[in-house]
Structure 1
Amino acid sequence: MKDRSLVQIALYAAIFAVLGLLPRFDLPLAGGVPITAQSMGAMLAGVMLGAWRGALSIVLLLFVVALGAPLLAGGRGGLGVFFSPSVGFIFGWIAAAFVAGLIMQALRRAPVFPAALVASVVGGILVLYAFGIVGMSAMGSLSLLDAAKACLVFIPGDTIKAVLVALVAQTVARGMPEALLSRNA
């Protein structure tokens, strides 16, 4: 069972890395933080793997990024990314995956789609933004209020990502329920 968990953690770290290949969008309003698909990776890892495995998949990815692999959106990698205005979001991915996984586990008796949607919104938006706002404020020379206002631009896209994650979870639960580890833990 441990071997299978390691493979799944590595698989979701790889999925997260692939999401970094999608183009990023830099917005001057966002304090230097780009719009990327990688927040969806944190949601997906938590919803599919559960709290601990989901968080560990992000930790694995960030370790490889710290070693210099350009796996973050826009080909970013190395220690420098941990000193950018994105740092709160980068570390927030770990907490986002963990919380999304906890919520999925807590709602294991609820229908998959609404459980995954709630887990993605709470973990992948609310928790992630809490970390992101602090990081933007600290590294982007913004007040907490200005950083929070800057994050408003991310809400529509992240809401769409949460719905997509819920659809993926529901589809997987119908076709291969044992792959939805957050419900089987």
Structure 2
Amino acid sequence: MKTHIGPAIRLTFAMLVLLVVIYPLVVAGIARLAPGEGRGETVIVNYGTASRKVVGYKLIGQKFTEDRYFNGRPSAVEYNAAGSAGSNKGPTNPDYLKTVQTRIDTFLVHNPSVNKADIPAELVTASGSGLDPDLSPEGAKIQIARIAKTRNIAAERLSQLVDEHTKGSLLGLFGPSTVNVLELNIALNELK
């Protein structure tokens, strides 16, 4: 037994150094090569010559509820990045169904020209993380009539804006086309 204690202690110490010191430093070093240098990709808006302001993070959804903006996907965690999670309620859970119906009713109040059957599911159901920053182009375009009326902008120009901010699938094969809601709303504010 004494012959095994020494190697076990050395192996434990070696693994401790490897997994607690070396591995995190390697991961942090690699993260420095990513956009945002591992701290997240901030979105900055210029407000004149000397005024710049961070308005959010590119990969974290935000709450937009005003009729003048494109609404993003609902969040089960109220867009709290520290508590990323889904609702963990099944599709037949009465509380979940009530929440979705409330979201549908709210959407229809703010978008009276839309038929209930035409509402994309992503606009009334939260994502698994609760922080999804993107919508499908269809999810953005269904809101154009409301925004056009509120901002007095031609619907064609808003449709063009959505198209300009649509990112295609990876290599044209993997994943759906998406629109980042924060970037779209910033571009909407910059329209003349």
Name the structure where helix makes up a greater proportion of residues. Answer: 1
TM-score relative to the length of structure 1: 0.30
TM-score relative to the length of structure 2: 0.29
Name the structure where strand makes up a greater proportion of residues. Answer: 2
